[in-house]
A and B are shown apart, each in its own frame.
Chain A
């Protein structure tokens, strides 16, 4: 069967199970777009900025587990994808980005809208391709999807010159991939699993540190099994949130810089850390030399390079978290760790990190707690980056597996709008809340148009403090209240802005209005935007200052921290 390059791309995408793509056309990719009408099973969602295409594809992957697809034209279209690709690379999420390139004869000649996008994206993709022969298109797309979703997932970019789209060749779709340099280890090594089991069986104060790998491998049942079988408390990293139900008695929540005190303390006092797809980021460990001084570490990860990268490991265990746990769990003896669990319960009571303070002002903590209560912890929650992200991590009680979408590694502000869009497209029947900062929201709000166009009933809650709140907090704590370039005094009227897009919107200024506002938003059939006018001076606590140990934790903002 002879096909054009453009038809080959579409046929390949269909064979990879793609039904939704996010993108914007332009000169170099136009011949591909002009074939879409032949393939009605491929739904293209026209975004307003290519950054939104990459981040929507990311949000889509995170909630569905299906590779997200982003498309852009050459040059500026392609470079606009970069922040989204970097976000995906840091958080190990599977995206395939397809970009148009100038025709082969023009490559390297600074042609109009030419950019070496494979060169640009080298450090922010798992792998990328510049296709120079039409016969390579099916193989490259097959490999791109395989690389993106297998092993430690990540973004893959495929750059295709314009003239390939209109050439014709025989279309043969390969059944398998053969990549000699790529062979991820999925099953754990038996003798290492035995060692892990014996460490778990002899531990007195074990904790599970559950990270994004547990979510990505969908090991929800296994994490729960392991925790319950040996009564091991579960700490979830920022991206590990929703790998274990926070309503569970063994759930401790998030540790680290803005984690709850008892989770950080449990890590500090543990004699064994069972790490499930976590990578001991500096926001979790703080000062490495004093991190978990008494703990042995079983480090389970699909990526060998993160094992031993930051912390010393007693049992390195390369493999897929779900697969490794399935082999490991039968070797773990039932246990109750009564004293340890009891001790942690006491820490939880003595260090009530999540107690809401009796204040009359409208705080983000209060709003997020209310959203959590009213949605019964069952919504898909998307955030941007900063104070509202930390408070959502703290105060939203996630009861459903894989219901949390946030940019953890790269910390990408503006993620909240397009990622929510991708999440709602991926899960049309779920309630999706996008908790936004007024700073991040203004970076990507152009996709409100896309949301309206596609009738996506996302509920936006803007935590409007007229500040880059987290930066302001650091200026307060570490720079003697010198608030340089953090105040947003010229914010638009977000309610009017939303209305201009045709989005139902209202403003909340009083605590007493919060319940009704959230309920109204839930009852409205369509997107809603609530502009919450929150206290600009609230700071996120607990806080372990950067580079310090858990001993330096400041739990309550009642007095000035000693390290200020």
Chain B
């Protein structure tokens, strides 16, 4: 990938202040992120974060290195676009009348989204997909009058056997996470 969007996934210690450390680093080093999500991983004391970062390869390399420099960051993976699943969820509240409500429902069905609330003047739709799908969905709904959009930001995972950071629960302590790719130093 050259200039454009990169999706990075980081395994981090699930502790107070971690989000602040990471977002603070992005801010002070001047890196642009278009989304950041965080949530519990398969292990109690570790969380996974997904960042969508704008920049060329050199920028992404710096972002990766600066993330590794944070003591609370255990592992960082730059996901290969072709070999990963990226999903985002959005809630979209759109104006609806008796005349056009069925049209909105039709569009929602095409996008395999779900109507989660119907009011007198509004409909709330839940949609999941990659970012461009949600972008297109919102564009199609614009003529009806969008009242509110809430997007979660991307979460991502690699396909197949690869795991963004392997946790070995048979081993205790620091060594249960291999914190750096073996070829990391050569591939700087």
Contacts and interface: CB of A to CB of B under 8 A. Distances in A.
Interface residues of A, number: 27
A50 interface: no
Nearest to A307: B188
A123 interface: yes
Interface in A163-195: 178-183, 185, 189, 191-192
A304 B174 contact: no
B71 A147 contact: yes
Given A191-B186, A305-B66, A179 B174 contact: yes
**Interface bracket on B:** 20 to 34
A181 B188 contact: no
A189 B28 contact: no
Interface in A107-140: 118-119, 122-123, 126-127, 130
Interface in A75-108: none
B186 A123 contact: no
Nearest to A192: B186
A179 to B, nearest CB: 6
Interface in B166-182: 173-177, 179-180
A309 B17 CA distance: 27
Interface string B143-185: 0000000000000000000000000000001111101100011
Interface in B25-74: 28, 58, 61-62, 65-66, 68-74
A305 B184 CA distance: 12
B24 A181 contact: no
A120 B58 CA distance: 29
A503 interface: no
Given A181-B71, A305-B65, A316 B188 contact: yes
A305 B74 CA distance: 16
A352 interface: no
B21 interface: yes
Contacts of B62: 305, 308-309
B83 to A, nearest CB: 25
B188 A122 contact: no
Given A179-B174, A183-B180, A123 B12 contact: no
B98 interface: no
Nearest to B24: A122
A19 to B, nearest CB: 27
A318 interface: yes
A278 B188 CA distance: 17
Contacts of A303: 69
Contacts of B72: 181
Given A178-B173, A180-B13, A180-B174, A318 B20 contact: no
A181 B179 contact: yes
A199 to B, nearest CB: 16
A68 B49 CA distance: 35
Nearest to B18: A181
A130 to B, nearest CB: 8
The 4 closest A-B pairs by CB, nearest first: A305-B65, A178-B174, A316-B188, A178-B173
Interface of A: 118-119, 122-123, 126-127, 130, 147, 178-183, 185, 189, 191-192, 303-305, 307-309, 313, 316, 318
12 contacts: A127-B71, A181-B71, A181-B72, A181-B74, A181-B179, A189-B185, A304-B68, A307-B188, A309-B62, A313-B188, A316-B188, A318-B188
Given A181-B70, A304-B65, A308-B58, 14 more contacts: A118-B17, A122-B21, A127-B71, A178-B174, A178-B175, A180-B74, A180-B174, A181-B73, A181-B74, A191-B186, A305-B69, A308-B62, A316-B185, A318-B185
